[in-house]
Chain A
Amino acid sequence: GQQLNQSPQSMFIQEGEDVSMNCTSSSIFNTWLWYKQDPGEGPVLLIALYKAGELTSNGRLTAQFGITRKDSFLNISASIPSDVGIYFCAGQPGTGNQFYFGTGTSLTVIP
């Protein structure tokens, strides 16, 4: 099955630093989703993107739908300890198709 390439795999940062991660695909997607997963819990939706070039924020989080429709980016500004977790991207080629997931970015925030 199709996998999205998500990078980096892991990040260790100091509290207060900004974080960037991205997801790329070999094919075009019409929807990009970003999730956060805490240990032992299900992924929780952070941001949904539905249009090429779209830039959407949710508090300190900002995500962008790449112009080529083959990538998406998630930025976290001024990280805090509760940002720790695994962040996943997901893409959907079009309505009616299944969703494909990245392998996740594990974020550790050092106080």
Chain B
Amino acid sequence: DADVTQTPRNRITKTGKRIMLECSQTKGHDRMYWYRQDPGLGLRLIYYSFDVKDINKGEISDGYSVSRQAQAKFSLSLESAIPNQTALYFCATSDSLAGGGRETQYFGPGTRLLVL
């Protein structure tokens, strides 16, 4: 089984609809992240959470919200989807308690979102 899973893998929605993307991890990591990927722009950080009670905005948080329901679950919501939110969305995890400061980030398989 994959360590970091995302659902759905693909989604088509209409402008103005509310969308939730979900992420679950079995790695036992404390930190979770949501990124957006657009062609030619690399990965951009939307939100991140260093533990269950911690939520931080990334560089492109406008139009998005998140919820860290448990250490293993981190969901991303688009309250009112718009076409320029069409992108590939990735969840990632990392372990701040990795020995010797050896923190490494692991990614889920991604969710492809199309907003019409």
> Which positions in A face B, CB cutoff 8 Å?
1, 3, 30-31, 33, 35, 40-45, 48, 50, 88, 90, 92, 94-96, 98-99, 101-104
Contacts and interface: CB of A to CB of B under 8 A. Distances in A.
B104 A48 contact: yes
Given A50-B101, A95-B101, A1 B45 contact: yes
Nearest to B106: A45
A103 B40 contact: yes
Given A88-B43, A98-B45, 13 more contacts: A31-B103, A33-B104, A33-B105, A41-B110, A42-B4, A43-B43, A43-B107, A50-B102, A88-B42, A98-B58, A102-B42, A103-B41, A104-B42
A1 B35 CA distance: 13
23 contacts: A1-B44, A1-B45, A3-B42, A30-B101, A31-B102, A31-B104, A33-B104, A35-B107, A42-B90, A42-B109, A42-B110, A43-B43, A44-B107, A48-B102, A48-B104, A88-B43, A92-B103, A98-B33, A98-B45, A99-B94, A101-B43, A103-B40, A104-B42
B42 A103 contact: yes
Contacts of B67: none
B41 to A, nearest CB: 7
A30 B108 CA distance: 24
Interface of B: 4, 33, 40-45, 48, 50, 58-59, 90, 94, 96, 100-110, 112
A98 B43 CA distance: 12
Given A1-B58, A40-B110, A41-B110, A101 B104 contact: no
A104 B40 CA distance: 8
